[in-house]
Structures are given as C-alpha cells and as structure tokens.
Amino acid sequence: MSEEITTDSQSWITPFNVIAGIIILVGLIITVIRFTKGLGAVTHLSNDNPWGIWIGFDLLCGVALAAGGYTCSASVYLFGMKRYHSAVRPALLTGFLGYFFVVIALILDLGRPWRLPYPFIIGWGTTSLLFEVGLCVALYLTVLFIEFSPAPLEWLGFKKTRNIVVKLTLLLTILGVVLSTLHQSSLGALFLIAPSKLHPLWYSPYLPVFFFISSIIAGLSMVILEGSLSHKVFHHKMDETHLSECDPLTLGFGKAASLVLAGYFTIKVIGIAAGNHWDLLSTPYGLWFLVEMLGFVALPCFLYAVGVRDKNLKLIRGTSALTVCGIILNRLNVSVIAFNWQLPMSERYIPSWMEIAVSVFMVTLIIVFYKFIVTRMPVLYEHPDFKNSH
C-alpha cells in the first residue's frame, strides 16, 4: 500500500505540475491583493489608460482565439465537412474554456465586478455596443456549454439527456455562428468611438469587419495548433478516427486559412486606401504596421499555401503558431500599442508585472482545465457506448 501511495504521489510531481502550481499560486495571491486593495495596487491603469492587457490580451485576444468553436462546428454541421468531425469537441472545449476565462478576467478588470449582471437585470442598454458584446458573450458561453455537454454526459452515463442535446446540434451551431458574428465584430466596433486615440493606420470604419474576418483566421489556426499539440501530448488518448483525420484536417484548414488571410490582407489594404494613409507607412508606426501586415498576414498566407501545395504538415502547423501570434499582435496593437499613440512615452500605459502574471495565470488555468478534461472525458476519442452516433 505504501509503495502505491509513493508511486501516485510521484506521478503528480512533474515539471508541468510544478510550474503550473507556482503560476496558479502567484495568480491567486495577486487576485486576493486586487480584491482587497483595488486595481491601483496591481495595475498601471489610469483615467487616460483605463483598459490594459486584461482587456487587450485576456479579453480581445481570448475571444478571437476561442473562435475555433464556431468555425469548426460550422464547417462540420453547416458546410457538411463531416471528415473533420473529430476536431469539433476539442475545438468546442477550447472555445468554452477561452470564453469562460475571458469572463473571469473581465471580473478582475471591472472596478465593481458584482455589477456585471446589472445590465441584464436592471436596465437593458440596447444602444450600447458593450451591452451587445456582453449579452452575446453570455449567450454564446451558454451555447458552447450545451454544445460540449454531450462529452461529460457520456462520461457520466446520462444517455437520454445526451441524446436530447445531440438532436439540438444544428440549432446550437446556427446560434453559435450568429452570436459569434455579432460580438466578434462588435469588439472592433468599440474602438470606432475613439478616432482621435487610435492611430489612423489601425483605425478604420471597417474595424468590425476586420475583427470578424481575423477571428475566422484565428479559429482556423487555433484548431490546427491545438490539434497538433494534442496529437503530441495526448496521442495515447486518441482513437483511430481522430488519428486518421488529423492530417486531412490540417491540410483542409490550412487551405482555408490561406484563402481567408489573402482576403483579410486585401481588405486591410483597401482600408488604407479609403483613408488615404499611404504617407503614414514611412513613419515609425507605419513600419510597425508593415511588420504586422507583411510578417503576420502576408507571410502566413504564403506559407499556408506552400504547405498545402507540398502537403508539408510541419510547415502548416508551424504557420498556425505564427498566425496565432499575429492575431495577438493585432489585438494588442489596436487596444494598447497604437492606442493613445499621441501621448508622450512618460504617460503611455505599460503593464505592471502583476498584470502580466495574471494573464499568464489565466492561460495556465485554461491549459490545466483542458488537460484535466481530455484525460477523463471522451473528447479525443469516441465513447464505446456511442460509436458513430454523433
């Protein structure tokens, strides 16, 4: 008995668990400080810079990178790409965890987080973009929970409830696409009210379109990236169906991502032309804008295309990581780096180490919860009692 206990305890002491445990402990301590001493004790936010990386990274990037749920489910259930069915549950799980921790991060960022449900109870701000974003995110988080629920229901053995939910799949997918279209674009529309604060190269009346199109790119790339990482780490949990569909999915989504990136690059150029901002490209901010456009839009578009043409799976998977970095860079450019660009550097927002630590804390929690769920529930394999019944 003592040998078994020793073996079990040693299995918990791994480099991943130790590092994750330290990050979570630090994150919890900072969270306590934030709620006992206020935002000023842990952030560098001010009246001039009320939104920091908890909005720029945790919310804007988190929502964009969680778009794999609606892109993957739409591909399978609306566009009939059944050969990619094995990717739906991992994508929905990633999407649900992403949106859930976006809400947690938002609670940390709000000065009075207990008032988060007020707009839904006391007064509906139907003319407010923030209200529309909040309502859509709340509804979509609910939709994602129901869409993913067949996995835990199969795990728990609730067959009847699971069968009812599966029958609602098409309806839930349509709702997910509609809600995602609304709030992904509305996040971009939030910055339309700040034309004097956001640099002209990033400010555009087409910001809602830019945010929506780039969320599709993020979703496609995240499905590829998450699939490739899961294939390496949780290979032993995958059944033959998931293993056989992994490579075709990488090629198919890589091709789609290349096409959408080409369209995104085109409309971004149209946005510059519409604003006649060509002269700004020779400024320091213009060079940074070109780094984003050429290094994280045009280059991934080309690499995806080459990878699909040559059936180079490693190139496609590597490109998916580059593209995800590009989405993060874009959201941070809009919300932090190119925001309040006219202020002197001494007054510009620079996140504190505790803000960065909390963001790392959120990402770590997503990874830990993902690992916990996929090692226990039928996410990367079909439950033996429900073979071919999806």
Q: Which residue has the tokens 């969680």?
A: 66
**What pLDDT score does 389 carry?**
60
**Residue 248 belongs to some domain of the structure:** yes
Q: What are residue 119's phi and psi, to 5 degrees?
A: -60, -25
Q: Please tell me the distance from the alpha carbon of residue 312 to that of residue 258, in angstroms, as a whole number.
A: 14
* Mean per-residue pLDDT pooled into runs of 10, the chain (390 residues): 41 87 97 94 89 92 94 92 90 95 92 83 77 89 95 92 92 94 92 92 95 96 94 87 88 96 97 94 96 97 97 96 97 94 88 96 96 92 74
**Residue 20 belongs to some domain of the structure:** no
Q: What's the domain count of the chain?
A: 1
Please list the residues that pair with 198 across neighbouring strands: 339
**What pLDDT score does 6 carry?**
39
**What pLDDT score does 240 carry?**
85
**Residue 18 belongs to some domain of the structure:** no
Task: State the chain's mean pLDDT as an integer.
Answer: 91
pTM tops 0.75, yes or no: yes
Tokens for 17?
Answer: 């668990």
**Residue 234 belongs to some domain of the structure:** yes
**What pLDDT score does 9 carry?**
43
**Residue 6 belongs to some domain of the structure:** no
**What pLDDT score does 68 carry?**
92
Q: Please tell me the distance from the alpha carbon of residue 44 to that of residue 30, in angstroms, as a whole number.
A: 14
**Residue 8 belongs to some domain of the structure:** no
**What pLDDT score does 292 carry?**
97
**Residue 13 belongs to some domain of the structure:** no
**What pLDDT score does 313 carry?**
95
**What pLDDT score does 48 carry?**
81
Give residue 280's domain range.
26-382
CATH number, residue 229: 1.20.1630.10
**Residue 238 belongs to some domain of the structure:** yes
**What pLDDT score does 133 carry?**
87
DSSP string, 287-311: HHHHIIIIIIIIHHHHHHHHHHHHT
Q: Please tell me the distance from the alpha carbon of residue 124 to that of residue 106, in angstroms, as a whole number.
A: 19
